[in-house]
Structure 1
Amino acid sequence: MSKRTAILQTAAANTDAATEALDLALAMASMDQSVQLILASEAVNCISDNPSKRYAMLELLEAEPILVFTDEPLSNPHQLDIEIISSQQLAPQLNSYNEVLQFS
């Protein structure tokens, strides 16, 4: 069984923490490690506003879809590979990973 890692990003798009979270997700995916980026809180705007093209690279590297933690309707005009999870689904989802790294 392979180790599954979640990267929980809560930082807004224009912060160093957001850049570091995406960099780590891309690096892990490029090494064929099982990694999933989870966007919560301020980070949700990374997808709905003007997302970096680097988020789309996760799909090219065959990473798991980006999970977006929100109870609000979300626009995905850039057709990124995302799944939306609600507040009730977040804790069980996080428990399914071997490791959770948080970038705030």
Structure 2
Amino acid sequence: MYVHDPMTNGKQWTWIDSNHGDNAKLYFYDSTAPSSKASVIAENVTNYAIGDSFIAYTKDSQIWLYLFGEKDQYCLTQQSDQLGQLLGVSNSTVFWMDVSSRDKDILKYAEVPH
């Protein structure tokens, strides 16, 4: 398995299996879970970051979350005309640019509940 740009929060790990492109698979590994194995959580991922209890990632110009505890995914940019570019994560906050319109810079953020 090829590991590109691994990230960790000290307990969980995430990485992609190719350069940041449309065919990259996003992996998740939880070192706190007994007998945990790396698993693919998303495909076509171009950018990602890890927080306290989640992974935020860009897929098809939308910002997504994978919550560790729930093992489920949610789209933060749910409007079909809203395009997002992930900027990063700090603890439990996700930051992204709304790039739907290039006329102005629109910075957005969301607090992810634990």
Q: TM-score, normalised by structure 2?
A: 0.28
The structure having more radius of gyration, on CA atoms, is 2
- More strand as a share of residues: 2
- More helix as a share of residues: 1
Q: TM-score, normalised by structure 1?
A: 0.29
